[in-house]
Amino acid sequence: MSSRLCGWTVVILIALTLSGCFSGSSNEPSSEDIKKSLMLKLPPIVVVNELDIDVSQNTGTEVEPFVSSRFKGELELTEALYQSVDHVMGKAILEETASEGTNFKVFGISEATLKLESWDIEFEKLDISPRIAGKPLSEWSSGGYVFAGSAAEEELRKAYEEKLAIEKKAEEERRLEAEKLEKERLAKQRIEEERKRELAAKKKAADIKTLTAILTSGKAQVGEAGDRRSSWPFRLTFQGFDASSNKFTGKMEWPTLSGITKIEGTLIGDSLVFKEVAHIKRGSVDLNTLYELRVTEGGKVKGVWNRRSQNYVWFDINT
């Protein structure tokens, strides 16, 4: 038997703090008086079979008695008690903790005062042995339980296992579907990446072809260089290209700077990289400016000079 106080035990203890009045014919209550008072305070499923007084003491006066009595007795359950040992699919699995007709001992102290020739009895102390856990079936929701070890429990657990199996199968199907979709996504991604690589390779090849045509055309390329404050138009003419080394030479004419410079550079992949290395006509042009340009949309070649993002350079393609 559990050593914990159950709900019914608590109800008993609370109820016993109340008092009851019974007619008295002497200066102390009888065991029947105490038994009747205790019966009124107990839950309906508990009855008092017997009650005996061990000793009584009047700490009041003969006129106004105050009688403390130590008593013992036997209680009996009129209904079985149950507690939940598990929950399955929203239903409690109930196990009997005390059967109908279970007897247990009660020990206590009562305090009685005489009022209008009746005993007003309160209970100061109460010990019940053994302690009782559980509650009657009336306290469990209708249809919300099955009994442990019953066919109903077996059916409930079987239904639960079937439910788990269905959920597991559904989860596995969702996992497989997710894996399938992920594989399809990765396959599409690989195809897209391959397509982008092919397009990039084609563009690079086309750009190299365009730059090679520019380098070998001998025609002037008209463009502009500048920064956030100023801009300077120029004419760029490529005069020699070695296809085996991808090196080239040429000149840049700067009308607003009154100068002409010699350039030397290399076709590196799809980029033109060159530098002004000497003055053909000094003017106001500084040497050693480094240019890096690529073919862009719109028939232009664009880039930066001296590797600064705010320094731009471009020219129209003329082949």
3-class SS string, the chain: CCCCCCHHHHHHHHHCCCCEEEECCCCCCCHHHHHHHHHHHCCCCEEEEEEEEEEEEECCCCCCCEEEEEEEEEEEECCCEEEEEEEECCEEEEEEEECCCCEEEEEEEEEEEEECCEEEEEEEEEEEECCCCCECHHHCCCCCEEECCCHHHHHHHHHHHHHHHHHHHHHHHHHHHHHHHHHHHHHHHHHHHHHHHHHHHHHHHHHHHHHHHHHHHCCEEEEEEECCCCEEEEEEEEEEEECCCCEEEEEEEEHHHCEEEEEEEEEECCEEEEEEEEEEECCCCCCCCEEEEEEECCCEEEEEECCCCCCEEEEECCC
Tokens of 74: 């036997």
Q: What percent of the chain has pLDDT above 90?
A: 85
Would you tell me how many other CB atoms lie within 10 Å of the CB of residue 180?
Answer: 10
Q: Given this model, what pLDDT does residue 46 score?
A: 93
Q: What is the chain's Cα-based Rg?
A: 52
Exposure b/e, 189-227, CB count within 10 A at least 16 = b:
eeeeeeeeeeeeeeeeeebbebbbebbeeeebbebebee
pTM over 0.95: no
Q: What is the mean pLDDT of residues 58-81?
A: 95
Q: Given this model, what pLDDT does residue 41 score?
A: 87
- CA separation for the pair 179, 150 (Å, rounded): 43
Q: What is the mean pLDDT of residues 18-35?
A: 70
Q: 117 pLDDT band (50/70/90 cuts)?
A: confident
Of residues 249 and 13, more confidence is placed in 249
Q: 63 pLDDT band (50/70/90 cuts)?
A: confident
Q: 14 pLDDT band (50/70/90 cuts)?
A: very low
Would you tell me how many other CB atoms lie within 10 Å of the CB of residue 258?
Answer: 12
Q: Given this model, what pLDDT does residue 27 score?
A: 83
- CA separation for the pair 204, 58 (Å, rounded): 115
Q: Given a cut of 60, is residue 92 above it in pLDDT?
A: yes
Q: Given this model, what pLDDT does residue 131 score?
A: 84
Q: Given this model, what pLDDT does residue 211 score?
A: 97
